[in-house]
């Protein structure tokens, strides 16, 4: 794993990650709402556990895309990263 070559993302991949990131955020919020509503109705039930698993999956996917975008922005050699960094 330490010898992996790091490749900058293409502009299209960056746009897709940004779109998917918002979808994951909305999915996590809706799953959280579903979990709260399900906890009121049947705490500890099978549906509550399923909603909790879905919430964890959305949060993990959102975190993964945020890390990928963050690593991409920190690259100095990539022209897309230079365009995405805020100018002073």
Would you give the distance in Å from CA 73 to the centre of its chain?
Answer: 15
Q: pLDDT band at 16, cuts 50/70/90?
A: confident
Structure tokens at 55: 């919430």
CA pair distance 76, 9, nearest whole angstrom: 12
User: Is 80 exceeded by the pLDDT of residue 10?
Assistant: no
Give me the helices (H) in 1-88, please. Answer: 11-41, 46-73, 79-84
Give the Cα-Cα-Cα angle 15, 73, 61 (nearest 5 degrees).
Answer: 60
The pLDDT value recorded for residue 17 is: 81
List, for residues 35-75, the tens digit of each pLDDT value: 998 888 888 888 888 899 999 999 999 998 888 887 776 66
Spatial contact of 58 and 31, defined as CB atoms under 8 Å apart: yes
């Amino acid at each position: 794993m330490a010898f992996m070559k790091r490749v900058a993302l293409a502009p299209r991949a960056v746009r897709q990650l940004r779109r998917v990131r918002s979808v994951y955020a909305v999915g996590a919020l809706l799953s959280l709402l579903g979990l709260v509503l399900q906890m009121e109705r049947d705490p500890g039930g099978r549906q509550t556990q399923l909603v909790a698993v879905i919430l964890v999956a959305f949060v993990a996917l959102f975190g993964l895309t945020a890390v990928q975008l963050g690593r991409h922005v920190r690259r100095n050699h990539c022209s897309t990263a230079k365009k995405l960094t805020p100018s002073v």
